[in-house]
Structure 1
Amino acid sequence: MFNHYPDWAQQLAQKYLSRTINQFILHGNVHDLVPLNKEGETDFVRLKEFFSKEFFGARDYVIFYDRSSGIYFRDQETQKDFNRALSGRDSLLGTDYADNLPKDPVRVFSLLEQYFRVRFDNKKSIALVIDYAETIVPMNEAGSTGSEDRTAMVYLSRWAQDPMFLAADFTTILLTENLADLNKTLVQHPYVNEITIPIPDQQERSAFIEFETSADVFSDISEVPQKVVAQQTAGLNFINIRGILSNAKQQDQKISTKRLSEAKKELIEAEAYGLLEFVETEYTLDNVAGHTAVKKHLRQAVKALNNGRKDVLPMGYLVCGPVGTGKTFMVTCFASEVGIPMVKLKNFRSQWQGVTEGNLEKILGLLKAMAPVAVMIDEADAYLGDRDQSGDSGVSSRVFSQIASFMSDTSNRGEILWFLMTARPDLMPVDLKRQGRAEEHLALFPPHTKEDRIELFEAMKNKSGLQLTEEYVPKLIKKDSNRLSGADMEAALTRAKFRAAAQNSEKVTPEILDAALNDFLPPTYPQEIELQTLSAVIECTSKELLPERYREMDRGEILEKIENLKLRVG
């Protein structure tokens, strides 16, 4: 009966037909088009049009409401019937609502309830659709909820469980993008059901592109095959895709891989309220100096993903090591090589009640729709918080639970690849580091062999744009005592360029280079660096990824050293 509806609408219909629930919260992609499959063809309509003409097409009356527009109706017949009822009320109570409809929830819900009860007596069927429900019953702590919010909450709760409303052919639909933005009392109400409207999958996107363009027209507006466009628009909704297609038609600029990538990046960052940032680089793992074993390990993951073996990939990686060892650069290069988009989570926390959880819900929904995707979280020990954090009304612990639950969803294996980076893995909660979440722990260290030091020097020389008067490897680089990190070496080479510039030369002589390196004193925090190094050693989940000097070290002894260092560095 409902086979031509999308899955979420079929779920809604089945739950309503159980006759035990009449109030539903629809959240997620609520401001998009709805695909309808009829007689082998797919049509796309607005959500409100879907409710008024299709889903509730047989209802006697369909009413819509939001705080801005107030009450509005499916058709003139419904409006006339409502106005007749309102005129009778006005003449009885001396009000003028028929000529001046209120828009505030309390008066609107009072009028609607009186209207509903009268029409239920006449065996009429009614559907009420409330848009932007988070503005009617917003997320608030119980003690800070305003009088208007509480009153609106009482009306909705009563409609959800009143026997008269349950016995009638009556449905309330509340629309909101983020479930976390709604009052939790309503979300958790036993007579209220929540249903997610997902962002379109590849099959739906492909059907929509066919709906918007015919085969011959599509070739006129795109250099990229239709199938590839459907694949590369993962994370976009139908309206976003329509914008890309319309722009190609109107601007007479064919869709190219580059334009498609730029448009997707811009649209998704906008959809995420600027809380997601795409990470792009022209480098690959070939540009990473040293870390040979780690690069080999990551390239095995690239091979597995390219061969479709998502089942063998870890849920996520914990990348640790002392500051300056190139953790962020390594992960960025991996994303470039594996050929999937990588995004970086920006600060989604807010001072306003409920906004933080809503932001995170939006972000996680987009990540699910964008899959396959890699997610980079730098300074993860500080960014993700802890289950036991307090002092912010429980926001941090709720955020932590949301992320931990999402990371452990096994359906995301090989689809959403997490990279948690930190110099202090010992500060991260075990919940995130355990198997089933950040399963593989990779440790990066400063170069320990002469070959690694020379390789790092060459890489930093190219990165900094250092030009030498002749091929030369500095004496300090060859010394076994040298422990410069990549960041240190880049800073030292920049100083060498500065000295050459002071002598009006663009190129650096071996003498200037040696002098600059010998003069360079990296910021010295020996105890902090040792703590970070040993923490990375103890955290690494693969012995072959450790430098040889650390492989046979007694782990009990390392743990004891770590505890002593923690006491010393505070």
Structure 2
Amino acid sequence: MFDHYPSWGQEFAQKYLSRTINQFLLHGNVHDMVCLNKKDKTDFVRLKTFLSEEFFGARDFVVFYDRSSGIYFRDKESQKDFNRAVAGRDSLLGTDYANKLPKDPVRVFSLLEQYFRIRVDDKKSIALIIDYAETIVPMNEAGSTGSDDRTALVYLSRWAHDPMFLAADFTTVLITENLADLNKTLVQNPYTSDIHIPIPNEQQRTEFIKYETDKETYKDLSAVSRPVLAQQTAGLNFIHLRSILSNARENKEKITHSRLSEVKKELIEAEAYGLLEFVETDYTLDNVAGHTNVKKHLRQAVKALKQGRQDVLPMGYLVCGPVGTGKTFMVTCFASEVGIPMVKLKNFRSQWQGVTEGNLEKILGLLKAMAPVAVMIDEADAYLGDRDASGDSGVSSRVFSQIATFMSDTRNRGRIIWFLMTARPDLMPIDLKRQGRAEEHLALFPPHTKEERVELFEAMSKKTGLQLTEEYVPQVIEQGLKTFSGADMEAALTRAKFRAAAEGKKKVSPEILDLALNDFLPPTYPEEVELQTLSAVIECTSKELLPERYQEMDRGEILEKIEDLKLRIG
């Protein structure tokens, strides 16, 4: 009977037909269109059109309400019936609502309740659809909820379990983008059920593209085939797709792979409120100096992904090591080589109650729709918080719980790859480092052998655009007279270029290079660096990925040394 509905619509219909619940919360991709696969054709309609004309098409009255538009109806006859009822009420109570209907929730709900009870008593069927529900019953702690919000919450809660409404054909539907934006008392109400509307999958996007371009020559619009366009627009909804096609149609700009990539990034970053950023690079793992064993391991993961073996990949990686060892660069190069988008989570926390959880819900929903995707979280020990965090009304602990739960969903194995980067893995909660979340722990260290030091020098010379007057490897590099991390090396070579430029030269002579390297004094925090190094050693989950000098170290002694360093650093 409901086979032509999308999966969420079928779930909605089944719950509605159970006759045990009459209040539903629709959340997620609520501002998009709904795909209806009918026998003779596929159609796409707006959500409110679907609800009023398809889902509740047989109802006698379908009433809409939001704070901006106030009360409005599906058809003129329903509007006339309501106006007559309001006029009768005005004559009894001396109000003037027939000429100017209220828009605030308290007076609207009072007016609607009286009308609903009269019509339910007349055996009429009613559906009330409330849009932007987060503006009616917003997420607030009980003590900070305003009187109007509390009153609106009481009305909705009462309607959900009122025997008269439950016995009648009466349904309330609240629409919101993020469930976390709604008052948790309403969300957790046993008489209320929430339905998540997902972002369209690849098959649905294919159907929509065909629907939109069926009556025109597709090759005039796009240089990208329909199947590839559907595949490459993971994370976008139907409205976004229509925008891309309309731009090509109206501006005579053919859709190309490069243009599509740019537009997709713009649309997804905007959809995520600017809290999610695409990370791009032209480099590959070939540009990463040193870390031979780690690069070999990551290339095995690249091979598995390209062969479609997502089942053998870890849920996530914890990448640790002292500052300046190239953790971020390594992860970015991995994403470039494997050919999947890499995104970086920006600060989604807010001072406003409920906004942080809502932001995170939105971001996690987009990540799921964008899969396959790699997610980079830098300074993860500070960014992700802890389950036991306090002092912010429980926001940090709820955020931690949301991320931890999402990371452990095995359905996302090989589809959403997490990279948590930190110089202090010992500060990260065990919950995130355990198997089933950030399963593989990779450790990066400064170069130790002559080969590693020379490789780092050559890589950083290329990255900084250093031009030498002749081929030359400084003695300080070959003999390891100083320890340079990747960041230190980049800074020292930039100084050499500066010295040459001060003398009016474009190329750097060996003498200037030696002067710059010998003069360079990196910030010295020996105990902090040693603590970060030993923490990375003890955190690494594969002995063969450790440099030889660390493989045979006694782990008990390392742990004792770490504790001693922590006490000394304070």
TM-score by length of 1: 0.99
Matches within 5 A, 1:5-44: 5-44=5-44
Q: Deviations over 1:428-461 (max 9, x none)?
A: 0000000000000000000111111101000100
Shift of 1:480: 3.3
TM-score (norm 2): 0.99
**Structure 2, unaligned stretches of length 5 or more?**
none
CA contact 2:65–2:131 (8 Å) conserved in 1 = yes
SS in 2 for 1:337: helix
Structure 1 residue ranges (4+ consecutive) displaced by more than 4 angstroms after TM superposition: none
Q: Any idea what the Cα deviations from partners look like across 1:346-375, whole Å, max 9, x if unmatched? A: 000000000000000000000000000000
> Which position in structure 2 is the counterpart of 1:352?
352
Residue of structure 2 in register with 1:203 after alignment = 203
Q: Does residue 269 of structure 1 match 2:279? A: no
1:344-423 paired onto structure 2 within 5 Å: 344-423=344-423
Distance of 1:480 and 1:513 partners within structure 2? 16
Counterpart-to-counterpart distance in 1, 2:216 and 2:288: 45
Alignment of 1:151-230 (within 5 A): 151-214=151-214, 217-230=217-230
Alignment of 1:473-552 (within 5 A): 473-552=473-552
Find the counterpart in structure 1 of residue 315 from structure 2. 315
What is the deviation of 1:482? 3.1
Are 2:453 and 2:480, in contact at CA under 8 Å, matched by a contact in 1?
A: no
Q: Displacement, 1:41?
A: 2.2
Deviation of 1:495 (Å): 1.0
Q: How far apart are the structure 1 equivalents of 2:482 and 2:292?
A: 19
Q: How does 1:79-118 map to 2 (within 5 A)?
A: 79-118=79-118
Q: 2: distance between equivalents of 1:469 and 1:385? A: 50
3-state secondary structure, aligned to 2:35: strand
The DSSP-based 3-state class of the residue aligned with 1:128 is strand
1:213-267: CA deviations, max 9, x gaps? 0286211111111101000100001000000000001110100001100110000
SS at match of 1:91: helix
Q: Specify the SS of the correspondent of 1:323.
A: coil
Closer, same or farther: CA 216–83 of 1 in aligned 2, 3 Å: closer
Q: Distance in 2 between matches of 1:473 and 1:76?
A: 84
SS at match of 1:375: strand
> Residue 251 of structure 1 corresponds to which residue in structure 2?
251
Q: Deviations over 1:377-422 (max 9, x none)?
A: 0000000000001000000000000000000000010110000000
State the shift of 1:504 in Å. 1.1
Query: How far does residue 515 in structure 1 lie from its aligned partner after superposition?
Result: 1.2
C-alpha distance in 1, partners of 2:206/2:13?
26
**Post-superposition CA distance 1:444-502 (Å, at most 9, x none):** 00011111110100010011111100000000001134320010011111111111112
State the distance in 1 between where 2:423 and 2:40 align: 56
Please tell me the residue identity of whatever aligns with 2:243.
G
Question: Structure 1 residue 40: deviation in Å?
Answer: 4.6
SS at match of 2:217: helix
Tell me how far apart the structure 1 counterparts of residues 517 and 432 of structure 2 sit (CA, whole Å).
40
* Secondary structure of 1:260's aligned partner: helix
Query: Does the 8 A contact of 2:325 with 2:444 survive in 1?
Result: yes
- Give 3-state SS (helix, strand or coil) of 2:352's partner: coil
Question: Equivalents in 1 of 2:210, 2:503: separation in Å?
Answer: 65
In the alignment, structure 1 segments of 5+ residues that lack a partner are none
**Counterparts of residues 317-332 of structure 1 (less than 5 Å):** 317-332=317-332
* Paired amino acid for 2:263: A
Aligned length: 570
Distance in 2, matches of 1:218 and 1:413, equals 36
- Percent of aligned positions that are identical: 82
| Aligned amino acid, residue 393 of structure 1 | S
| 2:149 matches 1:149 | yes
> Which stretch shifts more, 501-510 or 187-196?
501-510
The amino acid that maps onto 1:31 is H
Aligned twin of 1:45? 45
Secondary structure, counterpart of 2:59 in structure 1: coil
